[in-house]
Structure 1
C-alpha cells in the first residue's frame, strides 16, 4: 500500500501564526508603552492603550485554548488591534502619526490568516484613515497630540521599528515558511502523480498483452477446430478482444491516460478487420469522415465493439465474392448536449432476408445492447443498396460528470 502524502494543514499554520502574532505584538506593545512613559514622556491615552491591548490580546489567546474557535479569536484579535491602533494614531498626531503604518500591518495579518479577514481589515483600515483625516480637520478639542515635540523623532523611530519587525519578523517568516511547505508538498505530489502515471501505463500495457494472449489462444483454437461454424464464432470473439486491446495499447503509448483520440483508433481497428477477415477476392475500402474528438475509455470500448460488429457484418454479409465496395464511417456532434451521431454505411447487398429476420443474432443483439450502454439508440436500415447503422450516443464520462 502506498504511503499517504503528508501535506501541511493550513489551520495548523494559522494557529501558529495567531499565537506568534499575539505573543510578539503584546510583548512589543508593552515595551512600546514603557518607552512612551519614561524616555519619551508620553502620558495619557497612548501608554494606557498599549497596556490595555496587551491584557486584552493575551486574554483572547487564553480563551482560544478553551473554546478552540480560531476564526473567532482571529476576528477579535483583529478588532482589538484595529481599535488600539486607531486610538494611538488619534492621540499621536492623527493623519501625520508614524503609527499609522500599523494599519497596513493589520491588513497584512488579516490576509495571512484568511482572505475574508484581509478584505474586511482592508476596508476597515481605509475607512479608519478617512475618519482620522476628518477628525484631524475638524480639530476636536479633546483629541490632542500627546507626544512632546522633542520626543516626536524618537516616537517615529520606535513606531517604524515596531511596524517593520511585525511585517518581517512575524508575517514575513510565516509566509516564507508556508511557501516552502507548499513547494515541498507540490513537488511530492508531482512525484507521486508521475509514479501513478507510470503504474497506470504499465497496467494498460499488461492488459493489452493479456488480451493479445487471449486473442492468440482463440486464433489457435479456431485453427484446430474442424467445425466451420465454431471457427467463425471464435474468429468473431477474437476480433472483439482485439478491438479492446487496441484501446489499452493507445492509452499506453499516448500522453493522455484517460482519453482516446477516436479517429486514429477507428482507422487502426478497421484496417485490422479488413486484413483479418477473409476478403482475398474482395476489394473493400474504408472511408472515415469523423470529427476530431477524444472519448473516455468507458465510451470508447463499447463504441469500438459496436463498430467492430457493424463492420464485421458488412464484410461478411454485405458483399458477394469478387465484389468491390466501400464502408463509410462518420462521426459528428449531435444536437443534444454531449451527444454524438455515428453512422456506418456500406454499399453492399444488405443483409440476407434470413439474417434480417433473425433479430436474435448475436451481432445485432450486441449492437443494440452496446448502444443502450452508451445511453443512446441505434437505427438499422437495410436494402439491396446496402446497410446503414445510425447510432446516437453520449460520451459517458462527460455526461456522468455533469449529471453528478
Structure 2
C-alpha cells in the first residue's frame, strides 16, 4: 500500500482558483467603473454647446470605452491574456460610426492578432482606436454635402517574435509636408507615445501611391 499526502497540493489548487476568481472580479469591476466614467462623459458632452469641447469629450468617451472592452474580455478569461480579434472588430465597428452620415466607410480585418497579454492589449486597443477614428474623420471628409465612400483595412500577422499591424485607408491621404512627429493632433501624439513607450515598438505613417494613408506598426511580442 502506498499512501501520499496531497493536502498541500489541494491547498495550492484552491488558492489558484481563488486567485483567478479574484482577478476576474477585479477586471469586471474596472470594466464597470470605466463604463460609468464613459457614461458621465457622454452626459456632459450632451450639455456642452461649444463644438470643440463637445468633440473632445466624445473622443474621451471612445478612448475610455475601448479600454473597457479589454477589461470586459479579461473578466471572462481564465488568465491575463485575451483573444484580440474580437476586440479589434468591435472597436472598428464603433469607429465606422464616427464619420458623417453622408460618408460611408467599411471596416475590414485581415489576418489574426491571436492571443495577446493584457498589458499589451490595453495599449494596442487605444492605438488602433485612434488610428481608425483618424482614418474615418480625416480620410473621408464630407464636402458640399457629398460623402466619400471608402474602406479601412486592419491587417495583422506574426513574424518571428514580432506582431506586424497595418491600418490602410483609400481616403484623401496625408496633407502636404505632413510630419507625424511634429503633428499637433492629440490622437497621433497618444499613438506615438504608446507605440514607442508602452509597446516598445515602431510606427510609420506614409501616403500610399494609389491614394490614401498607411500606418505600419512593428511590435515585439516579448518585452525588450
TM-score relative to the length of structure 1:
0.51
Deviation at 1:250, TM superposition (A): 0.6
Counterpart pick for 1:386 among 195, 207, 212: 212
Separation in structure 2 between the aligned mates of residue 191 and residue 298 of structure 1, nearest angstrom: 26
Q: Paired residue for 1:258, among 59, 68, 80? A: 80
In the aligned structure 2, how far is the partner of 1:283 from the partner of 1:221? 28
How many positions carry a matched residue from both structures?
Answer: 217
Question: For 1:353 and 1:366, how far apart are their aligned partners in 2?
Answer: 22
Partner of 2:42: 219
| Aligned residue among 55, 63, 66 for 1:232 | 55
Q: Which residue of 1 aligns with 2:117?
A: 296
> For the Cα contact (< 8 Å) 2:174–2:206, is it kept in 1?
no
State the match for 1:107 in structure 2: none
Task: Map 1:14-33 to 2 at 5 A.
Answer: none
* Greater strand content: 2
> 1:290: Cα distance to partner?
2.1
1:326–1:346 Cα contact (<8 Å) kept: yes
Equivalent in 368, 379, 395 of residue 192 of structure 2: 368
Superposed, which structure 2 residues align to 1:3-152 within 5 Å? none
SS at match of 2:66: helix
Structure 2 portions without partners, runs of 5+: none
Q: Which has the higher helix share?
A: 1
Task: Label 1:213 to 1:260 Cα distance change in 2 as closer, same or farther (>3 A).
Answer: same
Alpha carbons of structure 1 residues 284 and 360: separation in structure 2 relative to 1, 3 Å: same
Larger Rg over CA atoms: 1
CA RMSD of aligned residues (A): 2.0
Q: Which SS does the other structure have where 1:226 is aligned?
A: coil
- 1: CA distance between counterparts of 2:21 and 2:175? 49
Other structure's SS at 2:109 match: strand
Instruction: Tell whether 2:96 aligns with 1:274.
Output: yes
In the alignment, which residue of structure 2 is the partner of 1:197? 20
Measured in 1, the distance between the counterparts of 2:122 and 2:140 equals 27
Scaled by the length of structure 2, the TM-score of the pair is 0.89
Taking a change above 3 Å as real, the CA distance of residues 237 and 332 of structure 1, as seen in their structure-2 partners, is same
Question: Cα distance 1:356–1:292, how it changes in 2: closer, same or farther (>3 A)?
Answer: closer
User: What displacement does 1:360 show?
Assistant: 2.5
The one of the two structures with greater contact order (alpha-carbon pairs below 8 A, sep at least 6) is 2
Tell me how far apart the structure 2 counterparts of residues 216 and 292 of structure 1 sit (CA, whole Å).
Answer: 29
